Amino acid sequence: MVRLWGFEIDESSGSFIGADVVGKEVRASSLVAYFPSLSPDDDRVVYQTETALARDDNGLHVATTLLFPGTFAGNFSMTRGHFHVDPTLGEEMVVLSGRGELWLKSREGEVTRLSLSAGEEFSIPGHLAHRAVNPHEVPFVFAVRWDDRCGHDYESILNEGFGAR
């Protein structure tokens, strides 16, 4: 168990302990628009998230993601990724367990890939799109917190991709 941003979280699963959350499972079949070679029948869970209903002491939203290892349609498991509509509002990320990559992309299309392991943290600048990728054999579990006034732009990634896959 780790204590982070006022919450207790099981680091191996990303599950909040004693907090009300909204959970979500994202299956390969729901990512077909991003990865056209995926089968709409592929029901594997690529990642699962929990978002705490209560905000942290700074009024920020806190969520965790467990990104399963594995590949689908020639890609490593990855989240969809998004830009923030407001480029002045970034996001903090803390790796809870495992390891993985954080891909960052500018509006000009420049992509940077960072390798992050358990215990490491990174402040994502608000102007860079962010996508988590798991090219390893163990789950990549991380927590993020953000100001929800940032707005989420998934559309740009849907239209342009992430430049590197």
Positions that interact with Fe ion (CB under 5 A): 91
91-97 and 129-134 beta bridge pairing:
unpaired
76/83 with CB nearer Fe ion: 83
91/101 with CB nearer Fe ion: 91
Q: How far apart are CA 12 and CA 158, in angstroms?
A: 30
Q: How far apart are CB 4 and Fe ion at their closest, in Å?
A: 17
Q: How far apart are CB 151 and Fe ion at their closest, in Å?
A: 10
50/91 with CB nearer Fe ion: 91
Cβ proximity of 17 and 10 under 8 Å: yes
Q: How far apart are CB 81 and Fe ion at their closest, in Å?
A: 9
Q: Which residue is nearest to Fe ion (CB)?
A: 91
12/34 with CB nearer Fe ion: 34
43/148 with CB nearer Fe ion: 148
Q: How far apart are CB 76 and Fe ion at their closest, in Å?
A: 20
Q: How far apart are CB 23 and Fe ion at their closest, in Å?
A: 18
Q: What distance, in Å, lies between the first and last C-alpha atoms of the chain?
A: 33
